[in-house]
Amino acid sequence: MCRTVDFRQAVLARNDDSARELRAALAGRGTVAVNLLSSPGSGKTALLEAELGLARRRGVPVAALTADLATENDALRLARSGAPVKQVLTDGLCHLEARMLAGHLDGWLPDDCRLLFVENVGNLVCPASYDLGESLRVVLASVTEGEDKPLKYPTAFGLANLVLVTKKDLAAAAEFDEAAFTANVRRVNPGVEVVHTSARTGDGVGALLDRALAVLGGAEPHRPVMAAAPHGHSHSHSHGEGHEDGHGHEHVVAGETP
């Protein structure tokens, strides 16, 4: 059991080293990476389509890399913006890793690219533990997913530099409780900004691009309290939802009878 813990810690520590190298290499060439995390269907690709379109209209050189277990669907959607786009198929892996990302960027990332958007594999567990060398980690949650998700996925939300609520246009129909969601976000990540967006109406699309450009210009992103190191990513892996011993914890809920 302890060997499993040691092995997982070693894998994560190695990834953190690769992520540091990649962040430095990207900084050296004047590129900021933005890592987008959410559950499947939250609207990562839809928002990115809007971000890439807006960036190109503003003359900002952008590129996007999107990861999935299968299909090239997202790359085809994103490529309609005219920006350079790459699809990565992870061969069954539920997350991207820094070394993997570096390999895919090598020889592909255009020299003039200033903002690289990375759409991670859709889930809120595995990708949370893997720093990709990004300077801005953005966690998205749509209004139909429930206000409690920040509490259920504290690593993902706790390590975010920015939280985006997506599908704002559906908020009334979903009876989304904005105040409850924000309060739950703040419980795991005090002080993090929560921006409400809709890829349908365009609301909030400029906010993400502005934040990314600010980081490119040298602004410090919000530093999550769960993170211990300067870049906000050398986090304590013991906080992960996936328990290293494979057993997890049990909680007895009051009122439950066998």
Ligand X SMILES: Nc1nc2c(ncn2[C@@H]2O[C@H](COP(=O)(O)OP(=O)(O)O)[C@@H](O)[C@H]2O)c(=O)[nH]1
From 38, 87, 161, 189, residue interacting with ligand X (rule: CB under 6 A): 38
* DSSP state letters, 10-25: HHHHHHHHHHHHHHHH
Rounded distance between C-alpha atoms, residue 43 and residue 2, angstroms: 38
**Could you give the string, one character per residue 171-210, with x where binding to ligand X holds by CB under 6 A and - elsewhere?**
---------------------------xxx----------
Number of residues that bind ligand X (CB under 6 A): 16
Q: Which is nearer to ligand X, 78 or 192 (CB)?
A: 78
From 19, 33, 37, 46, residue interacting with ligand X (rule: CB under 6 A): 46
Q: Which is nearer to ligand X, 16 or 68 (CB)?
A: 68
Query: Does the protein bind Mg ion through residue 74 (CB under 5 A)?
Result: yes
Rounded distance between C-alpha atoms, residue 101 and residue 66, angstroms: 10
* Rounded least distance, CB 72 to Mg ion, Å: 11
Angle, helix 2-28 to helix 98-105, in steps of 10 degrees: 30
Query: Does the protein bind ligand X through residue 122 (CB under 6 A)?
Result: yes
Residue-level length of the chain = 258
| Binding partner of residue 40 among ligand X, Mg ion, none, CB cut-off 5 to 8 Å per kind | ligand X
Q: Which is nearer to ligand X, 12 or 208 (CB)?
A: 208
From 30, 40, 82, 202, residue interacting with ligand X (rule: CB under 6 A): 40
Rounded distance between C-alpha atoms, residue 143 and residue 89, angstroms: 28
- Residue 119 has phi, psi (to 5 degrees) of -90, 110
From 39-47, 84-92, 105-113, 225-233, give the range in contact with ligand X by CB under 6 A.
39-47
Query: Does the protein bind Mg ion through residue 197 (CB under 5 A)?
Result: no
Distances (CA, A) of 8 to 4, 102, 126, 130, 206: 6, 21, 12, 12, 38
From 15, 38, 42, 45, residue interacting with Mg ion (rule: CB under 5 A): 45
From 5, 21, 27, 41, residue interacting with ligand X (rule: CB under 6 A): 41
Q: Closest Cα to residue 122, out of 100, 151, 103, 145?
A: 145
DSSP lists the bridge partners of residue 235 as: 227
Rounded distance between C-alpha atoms, residue 170 and residue 177, angstroms: 12
Query: Does the protein bind ligand X through residue 163 (CB under 6 A)?
Result: no
DSSP lists the bridge partners of residue 165 as: 141, 196
Binding residues for ligand X, per CB under 6 A? 38, 40-46, 122, 166-167, 169-170, 198-200
